[in-house]
Amino acid sequence: MATSMTETLSAAEPVDLLAKFDPIIQTREQLLAAGVEDPFNLVMEQVLSPTRAICNGRDTILLGTYNYMGMTFDPDVIAAGKQAMEDFGAGTTGSRVLNGTFRDHRDVEAALRDFYDMDHAMVFSTGYQANLGIISTLAGKGDYIILDIDSHASIYDGCAMGKAEVVPFKHNDVEALEKRLKRIPEGAGKLVVLEGVYSMMGDVAPLREMVRIAKEHGAMVLVDEAHSMGFIGEHGRGVAEAQGVIDDVDFIIGTFSKSVGTVGGFCVSNHPKFEVLRLVCRPYVFTAALPPSVMASSATSIRKLMHGGNKRAHLWENSRTLHKGLRDLGFKLGTDEPQSAIIAVIMPDLERGAMMWEALLKEGLYVNLARPPATPAGMTLLRCSLCAEHSAEQVQTILGMFERAGRAIGII
Ligand code: PMP
C-alpha cells in the first residue's frame, strides 16, 4: 500500500508555482551579471545615527530611509521603549481584542488623538495593515472605491480584500476624479482614497479641490498621510491640514515607520461609529498587537513631534537645498519644486539607474533604487529622502557625490 502511494506521488509532474517569476529572476541575474552590487540586498551592519550607517563595510550617509524627523535615536524615545520592555516584557503574545492591549497601546492611541485633535485612534501592527484593514472593512461588495492610480500597494490590497468596485483615476487629476464620481450610481457607497504625499515622486495631492469634489458627490474620504506626518501642516498633521481640509477628511491613515521612527500603523477619525471597527476589522483582530516597547517609544515620539518646529524648518531647508543643487547639476527631478522630504531623481533606464546607485554607494551614499511596479510610468528612480538630522554640510557632501557619480556614469 505504502509503495503504491509513493509510486503515484512520484509519477505526477509537479507544477512549479514559482515558474511565473522566471522573468524577474532573469532580470535580476542580468543586472548582477553586469557586476553591480545587489540594490535590494543591502545590509546595515551598524547604524551610527539617523543619517549614517556602515553598509558593506563603508561609512555611508543615509539618504534613502523614511526617518524624516530623525526620531530613531532620540534618547527619550529609546528610554521609553527600554522601560516598557523592562516593565511589560518583550511582546504581547496576543490580539488587541484579547490579551494584547497593554497600557502603552492605550497611551499611543491617546497620543494620536492629541496629535491629530481627533476623537478616535486605532493602532495596527503596520501601516500596510492599517490600509488593508480600514479600506477592506469600510468598502465591501457593492461599494465603490475611487482612487488615484498611483496609490500605494497597501491601498490596492485593501481594495482587493474588501471586494469593492475599484475606480482608478489619473494621478493627481482633479477633473478625472470628478468624471469618475459622476458615473457612479446614485446612492452607492463611495470611498475616495488619496495620499497626501506620493512616495515615489514626492509630489503632493491637490487635496483642497479633491476633498471638496468628493464631498459634493456624497463620498467618504480617506487620506494616507504616511509621508507627511510630523512636518507638513501647521501641527505636522499632513497635507490635509496644510491645505485646510482636514475637518472634511473622514479617515486619516498613517504609519510609525517614517517620521515616528518605530513601526506600526494607525487610523484616526471623528466618525461617531469608529470604535466598531475594532470588532470587525480582520487585520486588527486576527494578528498580535505590537510589543509594549514599540508602543511606548512611539507614544513618546509622537508627543515630541508636536513640538518639532525647529527640526521641521531644517528638514525643509535640506529639501530645498538638495532639490536646487541637483537641478543645477543637470539631473532630471520628479517635481519642479521641492514639495516634500522626498526628491526623486529620474534615471534614463534601469541599467544606468543601477550603475548610478552603485556608484553612489561606493561614494558612501545610500539612496533607494525604485523601479516598476512601485514607480509610475515604468520609470527608474533614485529616490532621495531627507532627514531633519542631515546637517547642511552633509547635504553639500551629498551633492558632491551626485556630481562625481553622475559624471562617471554619464548621466549629467
Ligand atoms: N502607505 C504609504 C503611502 C506608504 O508609502 C507605506 C510604506 N512605504 C505604507 C502605507 C505602509 O507603511 P508601513 O511601513 O508602516 O507598513
Residue of 255, 266, 298 to mutate, ligand 1, most atoms within 8 A of C-beta: 255
Pair (60, 89) in one structural domain: no
Number of domains within the chain: 2
Residue 22: inside a domain, yes or no?
no
- Residues 194-213 as b or e (16 or more Cβ within 10 Å = b): bbbbbbbbbbbbbbbebbeb
Is the distance from CB of 202 to CB of 182 less than 8 angstroms?
A: no
Percent of the chain residues topping a pLDDT of 70: 98
Is the distance from CB of 227 to CB of 260 less than 8 angstroms?
A: no
- The pair phi, psi for residue 252, each rounded to 5°, is -110, 130
Pair (106, 133) in one structural domain: yes
Active site members: 199, 227, 258
Residue 402 has what pLDDT?
Answer: 98
**Which of 187-201, 265-279, 364-378 has the weakest average pLDDT?**
364-378
**Which of 5-9, 209-213, 293-297, 311-315 has the weakest average pLDDT?**
5-9
Residue 17: inside a domain, yes or no?
no
Nearest ligand 1 atom to the CA of 154 is 10
Domain boundary among 254, 282, 305: 305
Question: Going edge to edge, which strands form the sheet with 342-347?
Answer: 342-347, 380-385, 368-370
Ligand 1 geometric centre to CA of 173 (Å): 22
Residue 27: inside a domain, yes or no?
no
Pocket of ligand 1 from Cβ distances under 6 Å:
126-128, 131, 152, 154, 195, 199, 224, 226, 255, 257, 265
Nearest ligand 1 atom to the CA of 151 is 3
Is the distance from CB of 339 to CB of 207 less than 8 angstroms?
A: no
Residue of 66, 256, 257 to mutate, ligand 1, most atoms within 8 A of C-beta: 257
Q: Is the pLDDT of residue 3 over 60?
A: no
| Cα-based angle 310, 314, 317 (whole degrees, multiple of 5) | 145
Ligand 1 geometric centre to CA of 196 (Å): 12
Q: Is the pLDDT of residue 74 over 90?
A: yes
State how far the Cα of 104 lies from the Cα of 94, in Å rounded to an integer. 15
**Which of 16-20, 268-272, 280-284, 307-311 has the weakest average pLDDT?**
307-311
Pair (218, 365) in one structural domain: no
Pair (225, 340) in one structural domain: no
Extract the C-alpha cell encoding 196: 497626501
3-state secondary structure of 129: helix
Pair (238, 214) in one structural domain: yes
Pair (271, 318) in one structural domain: no
Q: How many helices (H) and strands (E) does the chain have?
A: 15, 16
Domain boundary among 276, 305, 334: 305
Residue 230: inside a domain, yes or no?
yes
Nearest ligand 1 atom to the CA of 265 is 15
Q: Is the pLDDT of residue 5 over 70?
A: no
Closest residue by Cα to residue 62 from 331, 293, 367: 367
Please tell me whether the interface predicted TM-score (ipTM) of this complex is above 0.95: yes
Pair (238, 330) in one structural domain: no
Q: Is the pLDDT of residue 6 over 60?
A: no
Extract the C-alpha cell encoding 284: 486588527
Pair (53, 98) in one structural domain: no
Domain boundary among 258, 284, 305: 305
CA of 277: how far to CAs of 55, 140, 144, 292, in Å?
42, 14, 19, 22
Residue 306 has what pLDDT?
Answer: 96
Residue 263, by phi and psi: left (phi above 0), alpha (psi -120 to 50) or beta?
beta
pLDDT in tens, 202-212: 999 999 999 99
Pair (135, 267) in one structural domain: yes
SS (H, E, C) 312-326: HHHHHHHHHHHHHHH
Nearest ligand 1 atom to the CA of 127 is 15
Residue 267: inside a domain, yes or no?
yes
Ligand 1 geometric centre to CA of 350 (Å): 24
Residue 24: inside a domain, yes or no?
no
Pair (62, 123) in one structural domain: no
Nearest ligand 1 atom to the CA of 263 is 15
Mean pLDDT score across all residues of the chain: 95
State how far the Cα of 149 lies from the Cα of 114, in Å rounded to an integer. 32
State how far the Cα of 383 lies from the Cα of 334, in Å rounded to an integer. 9
State how far the Cα of 346 lies from the Cα of 327, in Å rounded to an integer. 11
Place of cell 531633519: 388
| Side-chain half-sphere exposure of 360, counting CA atoms within 13 A | 28
Pair (115, 262) in one structural domain: yes
Residue 293: inside a domain, yes or no?
yes
pTM of the model: 0.95
Other beta carbons within 10 angstroms of residue 40's beta carbon come to 9
Extract the C-alpha cell encoding 276: 466598531
Nearest CA owner, ligand 1 atom 15: 127
Residue 1 has what pLDDT?
Answer: 45
The torsion angle over the Cα atoms of residues 172, 176, 178 and 182, rounded to 10 degrees, is: -150
Domain hosting 377: range is: 34-69+309-409
Residue 86: inside a domain, yes or no?
yes
Residue of 65, 67, 68, 128 to mutate, ligand 1, most atoms within 8 A of C-beta: 128
State how far the Cα of 134 lies from the Cα of 155, in Å rounded to an integer. 10
Ligand 1 geometric centre to CA of 258 (Å): 8
Pair (55, 137) in one structural domain: no
pLDDT in tens, 176-201: 999 999 999 989 999 999 999 999 99
Dihedral sign, CA of 8, 10, 15, 17?
positive
Report residue 10's pLDDT band, with 50, 70 and 90 as the boundaries.
Answer: low
Ligand 1 geometric centre to CA of 133 (Å): 13
- The pair phi, psi for residue 272, each rounded to 5°, is -60, -25
pLDDT in tens, 114-150: 999 999 999 999 999 999 999 999 999 999 999 999 9
List, as own/partner pairs, every contact residues 358-362 make where C-beta atoms lie below 8 angstroms and the sequence separation is at least 24, other chains included: 358/36, 358/37, 358/39, 359/404, 359/405, 359/408, 359/409, 360/401, 360/402, 360/405, 361/37, 361/42, 361/55, 361/56, 361/58, 361/60, 362/58
Ligand 1 geometric centre to CA of 156 (Å): 12
Ligand 1 geometric centre to CA of 193 (Å): 14
The CATH number assigned to the domain holding 163 equals: 3.40.640.10
